[in-house]
Amino acid sequence: MATTPRSGGASGTGTAQRPNGTSQNKSCQFKLVLLGESAVGKSSLVLRFVKGQFHEYQESTIGAAFLTQTICIEDTVVKFEIWDTAGQERYHSLAPMYYRGAQAAIVVYDIQNQDSFQRAKTWVKELHKQASPNIVIALAGNKADLSNIRVVEFDEAKQYAEENGLLFMETSAKTGMNVNDIFLAIAKKLPKNDGANNQGTSIRPTGTETNRPTNNCCK
């Protein structure tokens, strides 16, 4: 089972600070959901982003996995609460539960698999219809390291993304290509004011007095 990594938190021997102290930096957290057909590499993307690892043989996800990762953008500490959903059809009815209230979504397809791209389009339509109106959607063409046997053309996906107001990158969880970049792009696009943060049901209020310097902020 997936467990919550502690890489974003303070270590036991570090200096602990209450969140009610004076804050030198803004911090905010966002719910991000990964969607896509089974075996396109959603879990591998998240594993690469959070732990910097890649497993050649990844087991199927049951329901969804939950991981967190914190990144720094300018003077803001952004914490992603990532729901890595299962792609099997039998879990499809649970998808609204995962993307409801999410500020961001990454829809993943496999560049070797045309069906997965079609499925990605279906997810985009569903998100536009049922998810938060301001959700930031990124389209990820994974397994870009296998571009010599690609089926989905880069230009086709890029055009689709532009037509639908999506971020678009081809990624490779195996090589790490564009993995951090796509999360960074999402973070940059997300609104960081308090008003926007309060729209989500899972967002904790962050006061300006928060003073929580961390040692592993940008790992």
Q: Which residues are annotated as a binding site?
A: 36-44, 55-61, 84-88, 142-145, 172-174
Q: How far is CA 29 from CA 11, 45, 91, 205, in A?
A: 20, 20, 26, 10
129 touching another protein, by CB under 8 A: no
Interface segment toward another protein; rule CB under 8 A; list 57-65, 108-116, 154-162, 175-183: 57-65
Residue 167 sits at φ, ψ, to 5 deg, of -75, 150
Q: In the β-sheet with 64-73, what is the strand arrangement from edge to edge?
A: 64-73, 76-85, 26-36, 104-110, 136-142, 167-170
84 touching another protein, by CB under 8 A: no
β-strands 136-142, 104-110 pairing: parallel
Q: Which residue has the tokens 């951090």?
A: 180
Alpha-carbon distance of 176 to 45, in angstroms, equals 8
Task: Give strand pairing partners of 78.
Answer: 28, 71
Binding-site members for GTP are 36-44, 55-61, 84-88, 142-145, 172-174
Query: Which stretches of 7-113 are DSSP H helices?
Result: 42-51, 95-99
81 touching another protein, by CB under 8 A: yes
Interface segment toward another protein; rule CB under 8 A; list 64-72, 110-118, 170-178, 187-195: 64-72
For another protein (CB under 8 A), the number of binding residues is 30
What is the footprint of another protein within residues 85-114 (CB under 8 A)?
Answer: 90-91, 93-94, 97-98, 100
Q: Select the residue interacting with another protein from 22, 204, 216, 219 (CB under 8 A).
A: 204
- How far from the centroid of its chain's Cα atoms is residue 197's Cα? 16
Interface segment toward another protein; rule CB under 8 A; list 11-19, 35-43, 103-111, 127-135: 11-19
Closer by beta carbon to another protein, 65 or else 124: 65
Question: At its nearest, how many Å lie between another protein and the CB of residue 114?
Answer: 28
Closer by beta carbon to another protein, 67 or else 161: 67
Question: DSSP assignment of 114-135, as one string?
Answer: HHHHHHHHHHHHHHHHHS-TT-
Residues that bind another protein (CB under 8 A): 1-4, 9-10, 12, 15-20, 62-66, 81, 90-91, 93-94, 97-98, 100, 201-202, 204, 212
